[in-house]
Structure 1
Amino acid sequence: MANSNASPIQTHLQRFLETRQPPKTFCPSEVARALSNEELQTEGAKEWREVMPTVREVVWEMRDRGEVEVLQKGEVLAADTTLDQVKGPIRVRKAV
């Protein structure tokens, strides 16, 4: 159930996590693409690509709280991997 104070990004992330059970993963861009034009405007964006840095930041916050795992090339990233160290596509799944 979505938190009424949650941002549209958080709401969509939660929905993806609830519908994709491990080991299924999703790409953060799927979350960005799911945002409506109105939701993009609330994030100060005109298109989904503009919110990708924010989506990745929210994913990292969730990872730091132990809610999700972040994978790259099929491998779960080490807990001490920072967002700045990650180049290229990532996948997300609910923590197991």
Structure 2
Amino acid sequence: MTQDELKQAVARAAIQYVEEGTIVGVGTGSTANYFIDFLAQMKGRIEGAVASSEATRKRLEHHGIPVFDLNAVDDIPVYVDGADETDPNL
């Protein structure tokens, strides 16, 4: 698999953790962008999302996903972002 295919697979797998009727936290970057694309397919089943950046907010809004200000949200059960580095000792 290519790097992009791996990122798409991770984003697709993360969708299973999104619960109906919730607000989802979304990070920034290519993996988060793939996640947003998959999230758009279920946008009618979530309340919306909180974006970590202006770029993420714009992509969410482009897909018709409502974006909430972090300070206006009490609970974010799932936050999805990419990982630039991992450490097996953490």
TM-score class, shorter: 0.3 to 0.5
TM-score (norm 1): 0.32
Question: TM-score, normalising length from structure 2?
Answer: 0.33
